[in-house]
Amino acid sequence: MTETRPTPPLPDHLSIDSTSPHFNADVFEHEIGIRFNGKDRVDVEEYCISEGWIKVAAGKTLDRKGKPLLLKLKGRVEAYYR
C-alpha cells in the first residue's frame, strides 16, 4: 500500500528558505544529506555544488529581518539522498 515516489534529481543550488528562488519543495519531500569536505553536516541552510560552498547559521545571531545570520564556508560539497 505504500507507494514510493521517484526521487527528483538533486539541484546544483538548493536553499531551505521558502522565499528563496533556489527553494524546491519536491526535493524536500525526501531526506537529503550534505557532505562537506568529507564530513556529514546537518546544519546546512543552502548549498551550491558547482561553486563549492555551503551556508550555515552563525549561532543564535539574527539579521535585521529576524532570520539566522549565515556564514559561507568554501570547500568540496556533495549532496545525496539518505
Domains of the chain, residue spans: 13-81
Which residues are CB-neighbours of 41 under 8 A, at least 6 positions away?
34, 35, 54, 56
Q: What is the pLDDT of residues 1-23, one digit of tens each?
A: 556 677 889 999 999 999 999 99
Q: Which residues of 57-74 are buried (b: 16+ CB within 10 A; e: fewer)?
A: eeeeeeeeeeebebeebe
**What pLDDT is attached to residue 2?**
59
**What pLDDT is attached to residue 6?**
79
**What pLDDT is attached to residue 38?**
95
pTM of the model as a whole: 0.84
Nearest CA among 36, 40, 45, 43 for reference residue 16? 45
Q: What is the pLDDT of residues 24-56, one digit of tens each?
A: 999 999 999 999 999 999 999 999 999 999 999
Q: In whole angstroms, what separates CA 77 from the centre of its chain?
A: 10
